[in-house]
Structure 1
Amino acid sequence: MKIKKYEVFDMKEAIELIKRDLGPDAVILSTKKIVKNNSFGLFSRPMIEVTAAIDYEPQTDKKSKDKGVNTKYEKEKLDIEDIANKLGLDKLEVVLKEISEIKKQLSEIRNKSKDDIHTADLPERLIPYFNIMLKNGVDDLIAYKFLKRVEKRISSELNRAQLSNLLVQLLGEIIPIEKDYFSSLKQKVIALIGPTGVGKTTTIAKMAATLSLKLQKKVGLITIDTFRIGAVEQLRTYADIVNIPLKVASTPEELKEHIYELSGLDYIFLDSMGRSQYDEAQIRELLKFIEISPVITPILVLSMSSNHDEMYDTFDRYKLLKPEYLIFTKLDETRRFGPLINVPILKKIPILLFTTGQNVPEDIEIPDGRKIAMKLLSDIQKVWRD
């Protein structure tokens, strides 16, 4: 029998050394923890002293040898499991679970601390409004900065109703909106851009119908959405109902020709193909259409029914097309209206229009800062029309 001792930092290293020196048939006889002083007289990292041995037996037939190997393998396996238990490794799962719980608690403390930092220097009577704004999806920094800005303008004599009215007024004043989209558009070719499913085609129909039927403006439509099944026919149906011309452009050059053909009209609406905000190649392809004429005004359409956190990412992806305004659709499909202030303020771009349902042309609104503010400061979450 050959016996050998090893001083290692972990069992994996010990097993590798044992197999190298003594072969796969070796067995572990004992283990113990040891601590040695290093060269500076200080305790170094704890080590494990492992004693292993190999018993040289006479050669037997292959069957007996295989059986012996299997027996020794099982013994080695049991020895290692026993060692793991002695070292406390059997409790690893419990330890990991405890660590996970600690991380969760730290995360909760961190989030709570963030709110505490924002509210620490706010007057006590403003803290409920901070919490209401967060509940409605307003960015915490926007909420904090707004309340700090108006803090000095608030008299201690104001009752709760008067304070609420004042906050609604002041919040409504800082929301970037365009109050008259009919006269604000510098160019008369309006291109609606944005991801698939946000409601671009329906919104174009509402805008075109409002201008044509209510304001007696001459309106034309151009679509470059030739990829989506039924997209052209949907827009053609709207065009026939309102009795306005519709053109289809498959290339940037065709778009340029159609804009020239319709140049005598008051407004031209361009319906673009919807693409995922993550499809950079398709967005760049759309850019070729937008750049074909300097009279095109891009407007980014965002749906309130989508993931609110992804709206910033959508804007960043589409900013390549240089949108000048925002249109928020499907306000009737949410009760949290925070993006109506978050995106315009953080991205420095005004809101042009809202849509609040599927009815054409009724469900469209010019934004009102005070109405938005009332929703953001309302403790009772209501649908937009309420």
Structure 2
Amino acid sequence: MKVKRYVVNAVPEALPMIRTDLGLDAVILNTKEIRVGGFLGMFGKKKMEVIAAVDTNTSKQSTPVRSKPVQSRPAAAAISPHPAARSESSAALGESESYTPPPAIAAVQRADTSSIPLEVPKLNTASVEAKAPSKDRQAKEKELLDEILEMKKWVLQISKQQHMEALPAPLQELHDRLLEQEVGEQWIERLIETIQKQLQEDEEKTIERESAWRMAKAILIEWLQDFQGEGIHPDTRVVHFVGPTGVGKTTSIAKLAAEQTLKAGRKVGFITSDTYRIAAVDQLRTYATILNVPLEVVFSPAEVSRAFKQLEDRELIFMDTAGRNFRNELYVSEVNSLLQTDSQSETYLVLSLTGKYRDMATVAEHFAKYDVGRVVFTKQDETNAYGAILNLALEQGLKPAYIAYGQTVPDDITPFRTDSYVEQLLGDWND
């Protein structure tokens, strides 16, 4: 018996080679997937190993036929000639109509196949040989590209780690502090690079912790100089509040309404469309009673005009909207339909500092499409991480208008101040 091993991309590729090398009486003994090449166990290419054999005592004369490979782990599978080919072969050899198969094929034919659960389907080897290499090549190219990208990511990560280890101790501590504050990596790296550049220009070889904090504070204030909170403009007549559920929109409205009523002396009115949440209307009505301001409830965009007409004597109108899952852009568009007004208006997105930054960024990105560019950040007293404010400002250009830090109305809210925010972000250099 003659045995030969083939390594190919797909099993159909081995069939013509087996017919050429071993003849039509060849038997496929086994097929399995292997990896070839690569470096240190990586980037190896997937191949198919095909083991074929032929009984050297059988006749080598036969007519080319279409065959199919049958894989079986314990037993060998044969490439069986087509019946028409058998008759043609017998006629060519001058034999009788009876056909005597080779021993290997006869053994497979005599085997009890009742235990085989499924019949191996016939393959159109012509189409498989034409299509398989192309799909296989595309899959391998994608796999190789994924491995290269993963390797690149790994190398960049190691490079960053080595770079951080080479930094002076004060800059390493600054890096760790900003990471704890959940500031984005790109802004931390940019800040440290700016500090290092200033040190080179000043020809300073060493830096103390106090100096690092002082330089970082000056740089961050410069970055945020255009984001200083301005509060509600005196000419604004309508202020809309939008945001996810549970972020404190209604409480923020009450705080700002009390500020405008008690400090600015403006006549204030309330409109609410938050009819989804249980007792939401009652909560705002309680604040309206305390502040002695009128409240209108709307159930659809068609009722907004009617509510504004009822409050036409008010100098400033605060409009509360329902909190929804604003990671869904459909809900964002629904709320935006309530915000259309002919009067000079401002819209504030309300976000909680206790939420995940990734979710906050998604919500902010959806509202940015409708020109919502101001943010009220709430629940500052419930977290020690304030990096989300910096990230949203630098990445999406959102202006932090107010910072709320408690439940007391109207005291626990203040306009955003760049210097005080940066001090909170960096902490005391002595800590």
TM over 0.5: yes
CA contact (8 A) 1:169 1:370 kept: no
Q: In the TM superposition, what is the alpha-carbon distance from 1:121 to its structure 2 partner?
A: 9.8
The aligned counterpart of 1:143 is: 188
Question: Are positions 1:177 and 2:227 aligned together?
Answer: yes
2:243–2:349 CA contact under 8 A, matched in 1: yes
Give the AA of the match of 2:180. K
Match for 2:321: what amino acid?
S
Q: Quick check: 1:327–1:353 contact (8 Å CA) kept in 2?
A: yes
Q: 1:363 aligns with which of 409, 412, 415?
A: 412
Deviations along 1:73-121, whole A, 9 cap, x unmatched? 8xxxxxxxxxxxxxxxxxxxxxxxxxxxx9999855533424656x699
2:108 and 2:370 map into 1 onto residues whose CA distance is 80
2:113 corresponds to: 69
Structure 1: how far apart are the matches of 2:275 and 2:331? 13
* 1:252-271 mapped onto 2 (5 Å cutoff): 252-271=301-320
Q: 1:170, 1:29 → 2: CA distance?
A: 72
Q: 3-state DSSP class of the match of 2:187?
A: helix
Could you tell me which amino acid in structure 2 is paired with residue 262 of structure 1?
Answer: L
Structural mapping, 1:296-375, within 5 Å: 296-375=345-424
- Picking from 49, 56, 61, the partner of 2:51 is 49
Bigger drift between 130-139 and 104-113 goes to 104-113
1:93 match: none
> C-alpha distance in 1, partners of 2:229/2:212?
26
More helix by share: 1
Q: Distance in 1 between matches of 2:198 and 2:150?
A: 40
Over aligned residues, Cα RMSD in angstroms? 4.3
**Contact 2:242/2:348, CA 8 A, preserved across alignment:** yes
The answer to whether the Cα contact below 8 Å between 1:340 and 1:372 also exists between their aligned partners in 2 is: no
CA 1:115/1:188 → structure 2, altered by over 3 Å: closer, same or farther?
farther
- Asked if structure 2 preserves the Cα contact closer than 8 Å seen for 1:136 and 1:337, the reply is yes
* Partner residue of 2:178 out of 133, 136, 158: 133
Which runs of structure 2 are paired with 1:1-386 in the superposition (5 Å)?
Answer: 9=8, 47-51=49-53, 52=78, 53-55=104-106, 68-70=112-114, 109-114=155-160, 125-151=170-196, 156=204, 159-175=208-224, 176-182=226-232, 184=233, 186-378=235-427
Deviates more, 1:119-128 or 1:298-307: 119-128
CA distance in 1, matches of 2:52, 2:377: 69
The answer to whether the 8 A contact 2:28-2:51 is kept is no
- Describe the shift of the 1:47–1:363 C-alpha distance in structure 2 as closer, same or farther (beyond 3 A): same
Alignment match, 1:77: none
Distance 1:30 1:291, change over 3 A: closer
Q: What CA distance in whole angstroms lies between the structure 2 residues aligned with 1:209 and 1:222?
A: 15
Instruction: Structure 2 unaligned segments of length 5 or more: list them.
Output: 17-26, 34-46, 54-77, 79-103, 118-147
**TM-score after normalising by structure 1:** 0.69
Which range is displaced more, 269-278 or 167-176?
167-176
Identical positions, percent: 29
Asked if 1 retains the 8 angstrom alpha-carbon contact of 2:31 and 2:48, the reply is: no
Could you tell me how far apart the structure 1 residues matched to 2:30 and 2:414 are?
Answer: 81
Name the SS for the 2:362 alignment partner. helix
User: 8 Å contact 1:179–1:367 — kept in the other structure?
Assistant: yes
> Does the 8 Å CA contact 1:290/1:321 hold for their aligned counterparts?
no
Secondary structure in 1 matching 2:406: coil
1:343 Cα offset (Å): 0.3
Per mean C-alpha deviation after superposition, the further-off stretch among 159-168 and 346-355 is 159-168
Question: Deviation at 1:57?
Answer: 9.4
Secondary structure of the structure 2 residue equivalent to 1:321 = coil
Matched residue type, 2:51: E
- 1:303 offset after TM fit, Å? 1.4
Aligned length: 327
Give me the whole-angstrom Cα distance separating, in 2, the residues matched to 1:185 and 1:12: 78
Structure 1 position 374, deviation (Å): 2.2
Q: From the superposition, tell whether residues 180 and 292 of structure 1 become closer, same or farther in structure 2 (CA, over 3 Å).
A: closer
Opposite residue 113 of structure 2, the aligned amino acid is: V
Change in 2 beyond 3 A, CA 1:139/1:12 = same
Letter of the structure 2 residue corresponding to residue 377 of structure 1 = L
Q: Check 1:308–1:6 CA distance in 2 against 1; reply closer, same or farther (3 A cut).
A: same
Residue pair 2:171, 2:212 contacting (<8 A) in 1 also:
no
Q: Is the 8 A contact 1:122 1:148 kept in 2?
A: no
- Relative to structure 1, the CA distance from residue 47 to residue 297 in structure 2 (aligned partners, 3 Å threshold; closer, same or farther) is same
Q: Is the 8 A contact 2:217 2:423 kept in 1?
A: yes
Please say which of residues 270-279 and 107-116 is displaced more in the overlay: 107-116
Q: Secondary structure at the residue paired with 1:165?
A: helix
Cα deviation for residue 338 of structure 1 reads 0.8
| Cα displacement (A) at 1:230 | 1.8
Q: Tell me, yes or no, if the aligned pair for 1:222 and 1:246 is still in contact at 8 Å.
A: yes
* Alpha-carbon distance, 1:226 to partner: 2.0
Distance 2:386 2:401 in 1: 16
Q: Could you tell me how far 1:367 is from its partner in structure 2? A: 1.9
Q: In structure 1, what is the equivalent of residue 64 of structure 2?
A: none
| Residue segments in structure 1 that go unaligned for 5+ positions in a row | 18-26, 34-44, 60-64, 74-101
Matches of 2:407 and 2:351 in 1, distance apart? 15
Paired residues of 2:8 and 2:14 also in contact (CA < 8 A): no
- Per-residue CA deviation, residues 204-241 of structure 1 (Å, 9 max, x unaligned), is 11211222234433211111122222221111111112
**Counterpart contact for 2:354–2:383, Cα < 8 Å:** yes
3-state SS in 2 of match to 1:290: coil
Q: TM-score, normalised by structure 2?
A: 0.63
